Amino acid sequence: MKNDKIYEDLFLVQKRAKRIFILVGLLFIFLILNFWKIQILDHEKYWERSEANRMREILLPFQRGLITDRNGTILANNKSSFRVSLIRENCEDYEKSCRKIARLLGIEEEVLKERIKKYESLPLFKPIVVKENLTNEEVAMIKARKLELPELIIQTEPKRFYPFGSIAAHVIGYLQEISPEELEDGIHPERRLGDLVGKTGIEKEYEAGLVGVDGQLVEVVDSLGRSKGEIARLESRRGRDLTLALDFDLQKKAEELLEGREGAIVVLDAKTGELLALTSYPNFDPNSFINRFTSEEWLDLVNSPEFPLENRAIRGLYAPGSVFKLTMALGALDLGIVTDQTTYFCGGTIRIYGRPFSCWLEQGHGKVNLYDGIRHSCNIYIYQLGKEMGIEEIARYARMLGFGEKTGIDLPGEKDGLMPDPKWKREFRNEPWHPGETILVSIGQGPIMVTPIQVAAHTALIANRGSGISPHLYKSYSQAGNKKMSSPHFSKNYTVKIDQANFEKVIQGMWEAVNKEGTGRAAKVSGYDICGKTGSTQTISTKKLEEMTEEEEEEVKTHSWFTGFAPREDPKIIVTILVEYGGMGGETAAPLARQIFDLYRKKYDRQKSS
């Protein structure tokens, strides 16, 4: 009996032992699989963490290429700057660290946390920039608290700097932090979250050439994150310098002329299409974009009633007013509707299609031929051309001469403008075209819309007797830089099929407008053959204007235009000016044009002849 009990007990032990062996075996297999995962599958992850305990990789940011004007004046530069970054892995107590850092750096704790949260997908040992453009005092304060805040590190970086502030701001553009959407779309390959990229202007258009290649520094650090020596260094490579066609003196003068107004000035090289000045006002200081905005600051700027971020020269849409009379004259001459000696009588008003239409000069201009019509900007003369041509032909010649489509300028965001016709009205307004609308469009009123850069390109086409140009800011890249960059090709140069003799007739009218007491006489520069055309455009509908009293009409301000070129033979410069709510073109825009022409002549024409 005793032996039976012994065997019975042994069997129970063996049964339990077997279960334990199985359990131990399963645990052993689990450990083996876990070790395999750590050492094989997650090898790189833990290798980076282990290396981060003794080594630190520091990014050496590249310098963006400089942006200069045609004479070497630096418009966009780089300067040394300090920034402080947070390494979350070194935080013993994240909440406590945030409170201390916010107090030390003088920023709100919520803003700090929001900034950190934006980069929470990065590994814990990767630095997150929490404040830039540190002062020397701030750097000293942070270094003095190194033992207390080992999670903070100071880094140096090149910072974009615009030495002339708001001058040429709409041309140069600004930098802002790359968005997650841009990263996902691959718009900026090899860039990381937190990098600054060109958002507008030349900074955006030529981003690929201006950016360089980041370098890297690897150093040994102790448990407190203090550097113990450098292991390896790969120097960064700067971007290519970019030379623009802009002339700083002309650009500065144009900005001064527009100060306190709203409008745009375009100055073109008549032969090459190089932009010597491109001004939009009100403007902004691109330096303010270098530091990261809070959402409230950004909304304040975007929602400003003055729209300082809007580049009116390429995005502002305006009725061309009497500037469009040049298009009408060319079209009518080319169609054989009139010659330069065909006359119409202007008595101040005329009835067309049973409706009265007025000239801007109440008593009228009397007997008017083509030259008089352009010189005095006679509405009645142009009404007659509009009636004879019809809207289809008006639209065809307008598009032929550069309206209704982009010029192709090398800036992002250019608008097409609008050349209306019956098809457009049916598609977008679901209404028929009325004959009276043709008469309004003929003098540049109604739904027709153009940009100042289009008017400048249109004027260059006339000045060159039918040869068009492509307005552009690019002049050249430097030889040295991060990579080989090919020059952009501006291929929109073209010739319109209109007899040059007809261009000469229109140019004669433009010359008389400036030099024979015409509407553009305020643009005259003694001894300089300037040809030009003024324009004034209504800012309210014709229907509403007709309902107003004479006193109310006097209070309505119009947009003021001037566009012209010089000299008459072998033209070199195109000047187009728009002043919003500036009144009559001859009173506001033309005197500003005179100052631009005068400065150009003193700087270039006399310089060549001396």
Same domain, 466 and 452: yes
Same domain, 195 and 114: yes
Answer with the one of 186, 219, 244 that is the final residue of a domain. 244
Answer whether residue 50 shows pLDDT above 70: no
- Compute the average pLDDT of residues 537-561: 62
Which DSSP state fits 342?
A: -
Same domain, 417 and 556: yes
Residue 289 covered by a domain: no
Same domain, 255 and 195: no
Q: How many CA atoms lie within 13 A of 371 on its CB side?
A: 13
Quote the strand ranges of 478-572, DSSP E: 531-537, 559-566
- Compute the average pLDDT of residues 170-181: 88
- Please state, in angstroms and rounded to a whole number, the distance separating the CA atoms of residues 84 and 142: 8
Torsion of CA 481, 482, 483, 484, to 10 degrees: -10
Residue 457 covered by a domain: yes
- Compute the average pLDDT of residues 381-410: 96
68 Cβ contact list (under 8 Å, min separation 6)? 74, 75, 241, 242, 243, 244
- Please state, in angstroms and rounded to a whole number, the distance separating the CA atoms of residues 326 and 377: 10
- Compute the average pLDDT of residues 493-504: 92
Same domain, 209 and 276: no
Report which listed range, 209-213, 236-240, 323-327, is most confident.
323-327
Q: What is the pLDDT of residues 420-456, one digit of tens each?
A: 999 999 999 999 999 999 999 999 999 999 999 999 9
Domain region containing 223: 60-244
pLDDT of residue 494: 80
296 Cβ contact list (under 8 Å, min separation 6)? none
Domain at 88, CATH number? 3.90.1310.10
pLDDT of residue 157: 78
pLDDT of residue 54: 66
Q: What is the pLDDT of residues 220-229, one digit of tens each?
A: 766 555 666 7
Same domain, 132 and 273: no
Answer whether residue 105 shows pLDDT above 60: yes
Tokens read off for 572: 């070199």
Same domain, 217 and 354: no
- Compute the average pLDDT of residues 366-378: 97
Same domain, 565 and 444: yes
Number of domains in the chain: 2
Answer whether residue 410 shows pLDDT above 50: yes
Question: Annotated catalytic sites, by residue?
Answer: 322
Look at the chain and count its residues.
610
258-283 exposure pattern, b = at least 16 Cβ within 10 A, e = fewer:
beebbbbbbbbbbbbbbbbbbbbbbb
Domain at 599, CATH number? 3.40.710.10
pLDDT of residue 483: 66
Average pLDDT, the chain: 87
Tokens read off for 235: 């120097």
Residue 29: pLDDT band (50, 70, 90) is confident
What is 413-479 written as a DSSP string? T----B---HHHHHHHH--PPPHHHHHHHHTT-TT-BB-HHHHHHHHHHHHTTTB----B-EEEE-S
Residue 485 covered by a domain: no
Answer whether residue 277 shows pLDDT above 50: yes
Answer whether residue 231 shows pLDDT above 90: no
Same domain, 380 and 524: yes
Q: How many CA atoms lie within 13 A of 215 on its CB side?
A: 17
Residue 459: pLDDT band (50, 70, 90) is very high
Same domain, 263 and 346: yes
Residue 222 covered by a domain: yes
Same domain, 252 and 239: no
Report which listed range, 368-382, 485-499, 596-610, is most confident.
368-382
CA 586 to each of CA 45, 261, 346, 395, 513: distance values in angstroms, whole numbers, following the listed order: 72, 16, 20, 27, 10
pLDDT over 90, % of the chain: 56
Residue 66: pLDDT band (50, 70, 90) is very high
Same domain, 419 and 529: yes
Residue 197 covered by a domain: yes
Answer with the one of 185, 213, 244 that is the final residue of a domain. 244
